[in-house]
Chains A and B, each alone.
Chain A
């Protein structure tokens, strides 16, 4: 009964390839997020969707494209992978539109992407 689940857990691929990471939440939350954690553990938001509507789109290369087929799913597709894309990508969700005292973030366990 995992609340926020991501697949795959590990992803090893070569430069130039295209890959996708899937995320699903069974908490009934309205908002989902993608965060990137670099090798120094710094957490940075990439995107957020509220009921399938994009509400936060940080300065992320166009090679990254989120897709939300419904409010329980948020996938991340990455084109033309580069070495610098290697990181851990976390999906998260929150009950309402923002992250707040009544709407805390719930994170998945991450997808470790390694680009060789």
Chain B
């Protein structure tokens, strides 16, 4: 049973455009929502994360928007650059226990010059 649904599977954006990746979760006990960025041949690396007590978290060009009632969260990449081309994974878990971090299926982002 997939607990975090991520869309779209792939995304092509022009340089300077906005990239938006969406995730939805089912478990209302989830309270930690990170996004990971993975370049080819590398491991995933933490990009940005949010807790459900805030509706938005911004770090540079990357913003997480969080909607607790809808059980959805999204990653927005402003002024997308070719160097942002990578696979992005959303994830979720419940902190403080032995719950595992559950990943979405990933979104391959291509930013054209």
A residues adjacent to B (C-beta < 8 A): 4, 40-45, 48, 55-56, 58, 90, 92, 97-101, 104-110
Contact = CB atoms under 8 A, between A and B. Distances in A.
A99 B44 contact: no
Nearest to B96: A98
A25 to B, nearest CB: 12
A90 B43 CA distance: 7
Contacts of A43: 44, 89, 103, 106
Contacts of B106: 41-43
Interface residues of B, number: 26
B97 interface: yes
Given A105-B44, A106-B46, 17 more contacts: A41-B87, A42-B105, A42-B106, A43-B103, A43-B106, A45-B101, A98-B93, A98-B98, A99-B32, A99-B93, A100-B95, A104-B46, A105-B36, A105-B101, A107-B43, A107-B44, A108-B43
Nearest to B43: A107
Nearest to A102: B95
Contacts of A44: 103
A58 B36 CA distance: 22
A44 B103 CA distance: 7
